[in-house]
Structure 1
Amino acid sequence: MVTKETTVKVSEDSGKEGQFNLDGILSELGSFGKYQLLLLLLLAFRDSFLNMCNFNYVFTAAEVDFRCEVPECEALDSRFNASWMPYALTNETNTCYRMTPHEEAALNSSELSQQYTCAPENFAWNKTKRCEKVVYEDYNSIVAEFDLGCQPWKRTLIGTVHNLGLVFSFVISGLISDKYGRKVIIVGTPLVVGVAGLIKSFSVNYWMLLVLEFLETALGYGNASMVLSLETVSQKRRVVFSCISDILASIGSAFFGLIAWKIPYWRHMMRAIYAPLLVVVFYIFLVDEGVRWLLAHNKNDEAVRVLNKVAKINKIQLSNKAKQMLKTIAGESNKNDEDGEKKSQSEQPHLLSVLRSRKILLRVLLIAACFICCTFVYNGTIINSTSVSGNKYLNFSALLLVSVPTRIITALTLTRFGRKTPICVAYTLCCIFFISSAFVPKSIWWASVLFYLVGKMCSSYGVFSMYVVAMEVFPTTSRNSLTNIANTVGRLGSVLAPQAPLLEKYMSGLPSIVFGIVALGPAVLALLLPDTSRAALPDDVLDAENLDTAPDDERPGDVTNEPPRITVSVTKDKEAQ
């Protein structure tokens, strides 16, 4: 099928490069050619190991069973599950107290035989004393190596510092990405994380590890991959493309459970997942800068070069109108070079000037509020989930693989039903399933687990969808910065999430009820956001402000199943790509 008059109008009437022109060219180039498939694989490799490093503390700082060292009995049996434990230690597990020896046994221990000093009658059953030293079940975790068993706050502090570093990371990476390009973050952050992680694996004490944990997360990570995924393909394919990218990353991340299983010692495991990130340095030659970012920053020559490269790799013959438009863009680039920095500055507004727009500011606040609810529910459900019997490494991998079917559903529904409706339905179902799981009788526990799992899948669906919407409602020149600012504020929810399990003390199933009630927040707030499913990504503030006010007659192709414009001379076979 070939588009009609719209093509001519767009290409002729557009005095400057616009969203319709670029979307049409991206449509001609295809969304899943060799170039895009290579990009998907490169981003999947990067994001897979970056996710592993982001989750490293799950195993490196894992809680380890321990017991007190009992000098009177260690020589008799020094195993972790020693035979004398029932009468020398308390009945509680992972406690830093042991039974106090009778005074006569303690005073005469040097003169008495080991059998006598470790006998049941030589320990006071009603009196305990604090351990001077503890023995761990294994020494694979930093908890055992740095002796944190009786200092649990130090173990949890690692997660707190990790999340605090991520707050700085998302703000810094967003600003850098919007000013210097997506490629800088895509290549730079994995290298920083890889180097910091390798140094961290040689930590000599707890405090050195804690400082490096913060530096790693504060200077690394970010979501530039998702931004590049959304900006690489045409409007109709951006959600599907981003979902496929996330599926590949989830499958790759799931291997972390197997790696941790086969390499349990924390130092060796960290080197196994951090070292591969150094390979990303070669992405300098393999990954191109985002075309939308290049055009938004008047780097038209480079944008034309990238588009021609995509056409060459995908073996696509661009239409005559598309070729003419590229020549026009290149000509405008030369003119912009003559104008110098004056024009550049006028077309690249500062972040604060973007926030002067009332609509943009309200969207940032609205999305931040959505993220607070989303992250609270998503992280809280993971933290509150009961331990599943079986191999913890395989369970962890299975937990990450749950997002695969969720992303498939996301790709099918966000494209077909828009943005608002799926998000509202997802969080409404999330509310229903979580509250239902709290009131299911214990006799049919499997139903409660099933409801909880489905609720978690709905939460995962909602979080990803909100990220997509957040990136679609902001202009290209500040897309990553504004999204990360909203995400940073939204991380307040992830800070509160660890406290949710404490509600179980007041009422059984109360945490699930709270998750269900909070899930109604994004279900309602999403109705206030513009539906961007049929709109091109906005390049400037004016485009972003008009997302929910542009008249339909300005976007004739948006309300039909017709292919995007600039496809006059494209055949059916090319459009199918």
Structure 2
Amino acid sequence: MTEFGDLISAVGEFGLYQKLLVLLISLPLLLNPFQMIGQVFMVLDEPHHCNTSWIRAVGPNLTEEEQLNLTLPRDADGEYEQCSMYSPVDWDLDSIVAYGLNATEKCSSGWVYPSAQAPSLLTEFDLVCDRKDLNDVSQAIYMVGLLLGAIILGPLSDTIGRRAVFLISMLIQGLFGVAIAFVPHFYVYMAFRCVVGTAESGIMITALALATEWVGVSQRSKAVLISHCFFAIGHTIIPGLSYGIRNWRLLQIAGSAPVFALFFYIWVLPESARWLVIKGRIEEAKKVLQKAASINKRTIPPELLEQLKPETQPKPGNPLDLFRKKHLLKVTLIMLCTWFAVSLVYYGLSLSVSSFGLDVYLTQLAFGGVELPARFSCIFLLQWFGRKKTQAVLLLLSGLMCLIIIGIPEDQAVVTTVLAVIGKLTATASFSTSYVYSAELFPTVISNRSPEALSKTDATEGGVDLETDNCAFLKSK
């Protein structure tokens, strides 16, 4: 029986067809960074104070400054308190002016934003004072969506196909991404963000599955990292888009609607030939393989196609297998620590772009600017130094940058930002390395069940194709 790897070699391991495919599946990744960190630019800090219009009932002719002087306490710097006000009293204006107000309370009638900026998430849903934590909760819920996408859509792609899940995920991301711009309540916003996160996870998983299943073993890391470069380009677009569109609802539409321009994928995006073979759809697999060979200007020997038979479907993987086998347990614990560390640094720096003391748009431009060289350089670093050394050094450098930042005085914003940019560069490269490393370490029969997995594709350890006998691999370890 023909090995599928022989067919890919005959088609061309990374010919024009595969390059066009990687381009197609990478285009939606341009929008993913916006969904991840776009909220940072919708919740920029703005001056605010409690709404104290209650005093207008007894002093309708008060100027704004007089109203604030009478109703708002001041902090140690002499500025009006942002989250407290003097308690309303049933006095006339002369008594208030003569005796003043002493008792304070939290803002009870909302807030006022004097800057008159375009509507933002912060001003529209009052994400200040006691409600400030809702911003972080929203980001956490988005991360939950990413996890749900890995848990649900990864296995689903094994059942209904990579192409179907990829297209469904794109549709869901577009629909709910645009729908977010019309939400009336912040809790609805958070729920929709969770759905968008789920869809994004589905896009990442199936995009990388399609790329790696169509590419030869020696070129798979290159295909993965090229798609990551598109994700990096998306990061560089965000500051310009956010700077030009200050209304958060219009910005949300601008960052989500372009996915609908890719509707033609319904007709041009191919299914994974490997998946078709596993599912016994041999004739369909032959057609897409012959089409790929034609575009690559290659010819598949007829005897190879004639010998193509349905592959034995491996027994469904169980995540508990990762903890039952001694070797897999060791690998799993190490990679869990690795993923935790790199995710903490990468997302921590990315979502803290507004807290380094410099202009948030310029800081994000620098953060986005290092993403592309970081991911592109991994193509060569992994070839020259291997996965283990590259990952270890990158993790060490990113962690070191974060530790140094802690000791930098708060007034040294430039130094802090430079160190954060270096940390972002190394964390980004480490993040891309983790995808390639994980796919090659874990047997693919269970890799699609883990959040960090790329896809249920061929994986190699020491040059051995693990997918040819996943169960044997598990037993042997």
TM-score range normalised by the length of the shorter chain = 0.7 to 0.9
1:317 aligns with 2:294: no
Partners of 2:244 and 2:276 in 1: how far apart? 44
Structure 1 residues 228 and 483: CA distance shift in structure 2, 3 A: farther
Q: Does 1:25 align with 2:3?
A: no
Cross-structure match for 1:145:
124
2:348 alignment partner AA: G
Does 2:470 correspond to 1:541? yes
Where does residue 130 of structure 1 map in the other structure? 106
Percent pairwise identity:
22
Distance 1:534 1:166, change over 3 A: same
Query: Does residue 97 of structure 1 match 2:84?
Result: yes
Deviations 1:194-246 (A, max 9, x none): 11222232222233323333333345533221232233322222222222221
Task: Return the offset for 1:302.
Answer: 2.7
| Secondary structure of the corresponding residue to residue 55 of structure 1 | helix
- 1:32-53 deviation digits (Å, cap 9, x = unpaired): 52x3343233223211123322
Structure-2 change in CA distance of 1:466 and 1:75 (3 Å) = farther
Alpha-carbon deviation of 1:251?
1.0
For 2:389, the equivalent position in structure 1 comes to: 421
SS at match of 2:167: helix
Matched-pair contact (CA < 8 Å) for 1:99–1:129: yes
The residue type paired with residue 484 of structure 1 is P
Aligned match of 1:251: 233
Shift of 1:402: 1.6
Determine if contact 1:97/1:128 at 8 Å carries over to the other structure.
Answer: yes
Report the Cα offset of residue 175 of structure 1. Answer: 0.9
Separation of aligned partners in 2, 1:443 and 1:94? 23
Give, in whole Å, the separation in 2 of the partners of 1:299 and 1:363.
35
The number of equivalent residue pairs is 457
> 1:355 corresponds to which residue?
321
Q: CA RMSD in A?
A: 3.7
- Hey, what does 1:566 align to over in structure 2? none
In the alignment, what sits opposite 2:48? 66
94 and 419 in structure 1: CA distance in 2 versus 1, 3 angstrom threshold: farther
**Hey, what does 1:215 align to over in structure 2?**
195
In 2: Cα distance, 1:389 partner to 1:152 partner: 19
**8 Å contact kept, 2:40–2:351:** no
> Is 1:326 matched up with 2:311?
no
Rounded to whole Å, the distance in 2 between the matches of 1:317 and 1:39 is 17
Q: CA deviation at 1:170?
A: 1.4
C-alpha contact (below 8 Å) 2:318/2:446 kept by paired residues: no
SS for the counterpart of 1:236 is helix
Deviations for 1:361-386, whole angstroms, at most 9, x for unmatched residues?
65445433322222223223445667
1:396-411 correspondence to structure 2 within 5 Å: 396-411=364-379
Contact 1:354–1:541, Cα closer than 8 Å, also in 2: no
Partners of 1:75 and 1:184 lie apart in 2 by: 65
Distance between the aligned counterparts of 1:365 and 1:70, measured in 2?
55
Aligned AA for 1:107?
W
Q: 1:61 to 1:476 in 2, by over 3 A?
A: same
> Under a length normalisation based on structure 1, what TM-score does the superposition of the two structures give?
0.69
TM-score, normalised with respect to structure 2: 0.81
SS of the residue corresponding to residue 192 of structure 2 reads helix
Q: What is the distance in 2 between the residues matched to 1:537 and 1:63? A: 51
User: Does 1:377 find its partner at 2:351?
Assistant: no
How far the C-alpha of 1:163 sits from its partner, in A, is 1.8
Q: How does 1:380-529 map to 2 (within 5 A)?
A: 380-383=348-351, 387-388=355-356, 391-439=359-407, 449-479=417-447, 481-484=448-451
* Equivalence for 2:171: 191
Return closer, same or farther for 1:56/1:22 CA change in 2, 3 Å cut-off: same
In the alignment, the residues of structure 2 paired with residue 156 and residue 439 of structure 1 have an alpha-carbon distance, to the nearest angstrom, of 24
Aligned to 1:571: none
Structure 2: where are the runs of 5+ without partners?
Answer: none
Aligned equivalents of 2:185 and 2:173: distance in 1? 20
Distance 2:218 2:80 in 1: 56
- CA contact 1:187–1:280 (8 Å) conserved in 2: no
- Deviation string, structure 1 residues 331-390 (Cα, Å, up to 9, x no partner): x3xxx5xxxxxxx7x523222399387255654454333222222232234456673455
Shift of 1:174: 0.9
**Which structure 1 segments of 5+ residues have no match?**
1-14, 337-343, 488-529, 550-577
Q: Structure 1 counterpart of 2:318, which letter? A: L
Superposition pairs for residues 38-187 of structure 1, below 5 Å?
38-71=20-53, 72=55, 88-91=72-75, 95-99=82-86, 107-109=91-93, 123-124=100-101, 127-131=103-107, 132-136=109-113, 137=115, 138=117, 140-150=119-129, 151-187=131-167
Q: Which amino acid aligns with 1:257?
A: P
3-state DSSP of counterpart to 1:98: strand
Letter in 2 for 1:130: K
| Structure 2 CA distance for aligned equivalents of residues 183 and 441 of structure 1 | 51
